[in-house]
Amino acid sequence: MSESQPLPLAGVRVVEFTHMVMGPTCGMILGDLGAEVIKVEPLAGDNTRTLIGSGAGFFPMFNRNKKSLAIDVKDPRGLEIVLKLIAGADVFSENFKSGTMAKLGLGYPALSALNPRLVYVSHKGFLPGPYEHRTALDEVVQMMGGLAYMTGPVGRPLRAGASVNDIMGGMFGAIGALAALNAREHSGRGQEVQSALFENNVFLVAQHMMQFAVTGRPAAPMPSRISAWAVYDVFSVAGGEQIFLAVVSDTQWATFCDAFGFADLKADARLASNNLRVQSREWLLPVLRERLAARSAAEIGALFEAHGLPYAPITRPEELVADPHLLATGGLAALTLPDGRATTAPLLPLTLAGQRLPVRTDPPRLGQHNDELLAELGYGAAAIAALRRGGVIGPSSLPHGDAAEPADA
């Protein structure tokens, strides 16, 4: 956005104690919207910095537009620094186990007394209640919240292929923070906001709960569901390729039949309406699969696109970096990883005044902003050096590739 149009949260300061995905997502959203987000990390760093496998993308994806302060908050001198930051902050965000922040002296009652205007956002596994003592993960709540049951075939519950509850839970934390900041404009006071994985998952499957309420019949898992539309499936076509095709109205059915020369199917009275076609899926889909099998995915996709019919290639995540729509619309932003390598990352899926929200700063190196933030709080160079020698803060502002100084135990 232009200098004449500052980002909507410019001037808002967020201090976050977060790790993994849920809490960092909240901070990323607020940071993308223009807030100054200070990520307080232990001296060893957020453990997602070093995850491998399916966790390797967590830190670089969810920690852009943030500053890193590496500090030992269990040391009274470190806690004093953090409290000084919070005293001038607008939002505090955390996603640690219940009671962890209170033990550190950073619970809501203590911070609200220090800064009555503070919005305090907690991201938990469960909202307060019988389950709140449990340790939750995205997969845990998907299993107990019906999503895994709906995703896999009967008898084989399967988690969704992304951290849907973590990401969406962080998004609801950000929504709550924005609502609380707006309320503060009227009341002059902050408040506590809570977001939770389990309740988020229940919200995701609410449509299936309502389906049962309306029909009296339990929703079947997606692989064995009774589809609302006859043609709404993945088709294997020439060369072993696959393509998803959808025909979801009577008008689209007529268009589909005309486009592919299926006059006999268009005239078949058994297929005259959507509901009749759904009832005919058992014999209709094999017929369509046989007729489409010799055509290429590109040919079928071109026909569907030319006639305004819904379709989709089956795309892998790594292929999206070359997606022509994302490239043409600026949906991917250049990003430098903490180790110095260049890549791209998806931006928030929205525009403001026709503009995408930019990546202003790359995911920070551990402790990259130690000196800058301490100087803002009034610490001189000698005091900062003494804190570093005492093992209270980590090394600061190291160039890419330099080895970090070992921190005291």
Is residue 160 exposed (0-12), middle (13-18) or buried (19+ Cβ within 10 Å)? middle
DSSP conformation letters of 232-273: EEEEE-GGG-EEEEEE-SHHHHHHHHHHHT-HHHHH-GGGSS
Query: Which tokens sit at 328?
Result: 């043409």
With tokens 């800064």, the residue in question is: 115
Q: What pLDDT is stored for residue 136 in this prediction?
A: 94
Q: Left (φ > 0), alpha (ψ -120 to 50) or beta: where does 330 sit? A: left
Phi, psi of 331 (to 5 degrees): -80, -10
Q: What pLDDT is stored for residue 338 in this prediction?
A: 86
Q: What pLDDT is stored for residue 405 in this prediction?
A: 35
pLDDT (tens digit per residue) in 102-144: 999 999 999 999 999 999 999 999 999 999 999 999 999 999 9
CATH architecture observed for domain 13-204+333-389: 3-Layer(aba) Sandwich (3.40)
Residues of the chain with pLDDT under 70: 1-4, 396-409
Q: Which of 81, 67, 69 is nearest to 43 (CA)?
A: 69
What is the rounded distance in angstroms from the CA atom of residue 8 to the CA atom of residue 353? 11
Cite the DSSP H helix spans in 152-233: 164-187, 197-204, 206-215
For residue 279, CA distances in Å to 114, 269, 274, 345, 395 come to 64, 12, 9, 43, 67
Helix (H) or strand (E) holding 309: none
Phi, psi of 233 (to 5 degrees): -160, 170
Q: What pLDDT is stored for residue 222 in this prediction?
A: 86
Q: What pLDDT is stored for residue 303 in this prediction?
A: 98
DSSP-derived 3-state class of residue 355: strand
- Contact assessment for residue 149 and residue 87, using Cβ atoms and an 8 Å cutoff: no
What is the rounded distance in angstroms from the CA atom of residue 86 to the CA atom of residue 13? 9
With tokens 């009774």, the residue in question is: 226
- Contact assessment for residue 23 and residue 48, using Cβ atoms and an 8 Å cutoff: no
Q: Which of 112, 88, 108, 95 is nearest to 12 (CA)?
A: 88
- CA–chain centroid gap for 402, Å, is 31
Query: Which tokens sit at 365?
Result: 């190196």
Phi, psi of 88 (to 5 degrees): -110, 15
Q: What pLDDT is stored for residue 3 in this prediction?
A: 55
Strand partners, 193: 121
Q: What pLDDT is stored for residue 262 in this prediction?
A: 98
> Which residues have a Cβ under 8 Å from the Cβ of 332 and sit 6 or more positions away?
321, 326, 344, 345, 346, 347
- Contact assessment for residue 98 and residue 132, using Cβ atoms and an 8 Å cutoff: yes
Helix (H) or strand (E) holding 193: strand 192-196
Superfamily of domain 227-317: formyl-coa transferase, domain 3 (3.30.1540.10)
What is the domain partition of the chain in residue ranges? 13-204+333-389, 227-317
